[in-house]
């Protein structure tokens, strides 16, 4: 498991200069089918419809999250509390944390009712995957990675570093998405953050002197969420996909024939545990059957597939701009019950989403004072306190498709 490569392997990366690999097991995992598959799934799905250069894949992000773990092992004070097994566990978890993502992820998760974390765990544990075969070199490794991903409490420090308010995942993707979209926000000072961290009793603390870098990181996140991730046009693109998926599901349930090759998709919809079918699904697969659907005999599929292909997007009304009741009624009147199911959507997004998730909230970030005391971040920082207390920014929109 801890076998090293003869010579450090490097991957050029615009964010870190180079990503370095010393362990053979990491190199093997990178070459696995499941990780290579991520080359064919874009990190930001529909966002490239707005920020056209956001074409980077989940593969490059996975390497980035791994590299961030690497940098933590080399730079964070107190991290030596992890022994070599735990260090490798950490590196592997960082590298593999996203392998369960499906194509155009969010629309897809709603369809299969399984989170990408669940799928990641299935892929790691299934004996049918390359990744599992590689991990078997050490009997406990696959299970322990699954434990880390599922946040079951066995390795609390590693869990926190892999997935929390301040983790290798977010630290890589904020910078990376900013770089590839060209957005001016999202540049985070990760080296400063790493130097601010101190591991005390298996907990990640932030020195008071480094709180500024965390404030800045949280503000970058806030801006990336509203400027990039929840951009109305990106969502408009995902609406098309959700419409297609919903129509496909309805037709299958009604035993209607779909005139496109979607076997793997159907298998997964019927059985979440079919990992071999699952890893056949990627953006290319979805693009492939959508292209076939542009000639579908089903009016809805045909329309939405063509809309997807040629960037004919859903329109939307922002409810924060107080549209008249009339305007809204006029939109609703465009559809009957049948078409409304696929052509009309009400969405809500709120900043609260990023401050409180089921696994963690902002107060998980703890500040270490010079005198040794520990405070939660919002007690210490008035900026953060005000962010968590005032009414959150909420986005409510009605999306609708006009033929």
* Helix spans in 182-274 (H): 190-196, 211-224, 232-253, 263-270
365 binds a second copy (CB under 8 A): no
Closest distance to a second copy from the beta carbon of 280 (Å): 7
Closest distance to a second copy from the beta carbon of 232 (Å): 10
Quick one: which of 21, 26, 89, 183 contacts a second copy (CB under 8 A)? 183
198 binds a second copy (CB under 8 A): no
Considering only residues 44 through 103, tell me which ones interact with a second copy, judged by CB under 8 A. 48, 51-53, 55-57, 59-60, 63
Considering only residues 143 through 182, tell me which ones interact with a second copy, judged by CB under 8 A. 179-182
Task: Identify which of 218, 164, 187 has the alpha carbon closest to the alpha carbon of residue 383.
Answer: 218
Residue 370 phi/psi, 5-degree rounding, is -55, -30
Closest distance to a second copy from the beta carbon of 150 (Å): 28
Closest distance to a second copy from the beta carbon of 156 (Å): 26
393 binds a second copy (CB under 8 A): yes
Task: Identify which of 253, 234, 256 has the alpha carbon closest to the alpha carbon of residue 48.
Answer: 234
Closest distance to a second copy from the beta carbon of 184 (Å): 3
Closest distance to a second copy from the beta carbon of 302 (Å): 16
**Contact 143/294 with Cβ under 8 angstroms?**
no
369 binds a second copy (CB under 8 A): yes
Nearer to a second copy, 15 or 252 (CB): 15
324 binds a second copy (CB under 8 A): no
**Contact 269/112 with Cβ under 8 angstroms?**
yes
In the numeric block, the tokens 């299969």 are attached to 112
**Contact 130/33 with Cβ under 8 angstroms?**
yes
**Contact 399/314 with Cβ under 8 angstroms?**
yes
What burial class does residue 153 get, using C-beta atoms within 10 Å of its C-beta: 0-12 exposed, 13-18 middle, 19+ buried? exposed
Residue 15 phi/psi, 5-degree rounding, is -85, -45
User: CA separation (Å) from 353 to 50, 211, 229?
Assistant: 22, 22, 12
Closest distance to a second copy from the beta carbon of 309 (Å): 7
397 binds a second copy (CB under 8 A): no
137 binds a second copy (CB under 8 A): no
Helix (H) or strand (E) holding 36: helix 33-37
Considering only residues 15 through 34, tell me which ones interact with a second copy, judged by CB under 8 A. 15, 17-18, 31, 33
Nearer to a second copy, 140 or 396 (CB): 396
Cα dihedral sign for 215, 218, 220, 223? negative
Nearer to a second copy, 2 or 14 (CB): 14
Q: Which stretch binds a second copy (CB under 8 A): 118-126, 141-149, 185-193, 342-350?
A: 185-193
């Amino acid at each position: 498991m801890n076998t090293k490569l003869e010579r450090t392997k490097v991957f050029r990366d615009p964010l870190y200069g180079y990503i370095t690999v010393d362990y053979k097991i990491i190199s093997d995992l990178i070459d696995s089918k499941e990780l290579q598959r991520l080359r064919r799934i874009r990190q930001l799905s529909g966002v490239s419809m707005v920020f056209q250069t956001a074409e980077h894949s989940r593969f490059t992000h996975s390497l980035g999250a791994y590299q961030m773990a690497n940098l933590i092992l080399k730079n964070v004070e107190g991290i030596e509390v992890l022994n070599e097994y735990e260090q490798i566990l950490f590196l592997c978890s960082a590298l593999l944390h996203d392998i369960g993502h499906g194509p155009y992820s969010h629309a897809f998760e709603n369809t299969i009712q399984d989170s990408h974390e669940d799928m990641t765990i299935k892929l790691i544990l299934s004996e049918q995957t390359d990744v599992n075969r590689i991990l078997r070199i050490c009997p406990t490794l696959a299970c322990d990675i699954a434990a880390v991903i599922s946040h079951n409490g066995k390795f609390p420090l590693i869990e926190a570093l892999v997935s929390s308010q301040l983790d290798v995942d977010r630290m890589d993707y904020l910078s990376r998405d900013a770089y590839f979209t060209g957005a001016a926000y999202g540049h985070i000072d990760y080296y400063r953050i790493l130097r601010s961290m101190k591991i005390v009793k298996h907990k990640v603390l932030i020195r008071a002197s480094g709180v500024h870098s965390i404030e800045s990181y949280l503000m970058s996140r806030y801006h990336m969420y509203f400027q990039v991730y929840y951009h109305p046009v990106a969502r408009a693109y995902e609406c098309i996909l959700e419409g297609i998926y919903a129509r496909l599901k309805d037709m299958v349930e009604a035993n209607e024939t779909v005139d496109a090759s979607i076997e793997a998709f159907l298998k997964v919809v019927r059985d979440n545990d079919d990992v071999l079918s699952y890893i056949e699904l990627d953006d290319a697969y979805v693009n492939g059957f959508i292209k076939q659907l542009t000639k579908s005999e089903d009016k809805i599929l045909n329309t939405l597939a063509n809309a997807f292909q040629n960037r004919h997007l859903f329109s939307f009304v922002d409810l924060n701009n107080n549209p008249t009741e009339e305007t809204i009624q006029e939109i609703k009147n465009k559809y009957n019950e049948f078409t409304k199911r696929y052509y009309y959507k009400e969405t809500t997004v709120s900043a609260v989403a990023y401050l409180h998730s089921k696994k963690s909230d902002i107060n998980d970030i703890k500040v270490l004072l010079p005198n040794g005391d520990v405070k939660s971040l919002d007690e210490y920082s008035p900026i953060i306190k005000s962010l968590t207390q005032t009414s959150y920014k909420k986005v409510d929109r009605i999306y609708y498709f006009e033929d």
